[in-house]
Amino acid sequence: MEITSIRTEKDYILALQRIDTLMDAKPNTKEFDELNSLVHLVEVYEEKHYKIDAPSPIFM
């Protein structure tokens, strides 16, 4: 398990693919820890690069 920051779109896609393979990981395993770490890194990347602004009050 080598976990690094997600810096590029390619890193992001690879992380999503790896998450997909780890979705059935059992708790308290290395795979589960890797899954949790990758999910956190993806959330950070998405917050920075795919941020969704709050809707305008007009649209609410």
54 in a structural domain: no
Residue 54: per-residue pLDDT: 80
- Tell me if 12 is assigned to some domain: yes
What tens digit of pLDDT does each residue of 8-18 get? 999 999 999 99
Q: What is the pLDDT of residue 55?
A: 80
The residue range of the domain holding 10 is 1-49
Residue 59 lies in a domain: no
Residue 58, phi then psi, degrees to nearest 5: -65, -35
Backbone φ and ψ for 33, nearest 5 degrees, come out as: -65, -40
CA distances from 2 to 22, 28, 49 (A): 14, 18, 23
Tell me if the pTM is above 0.75: yes
Number of domains in the chain: 1
Domain assignment present for 19: yes
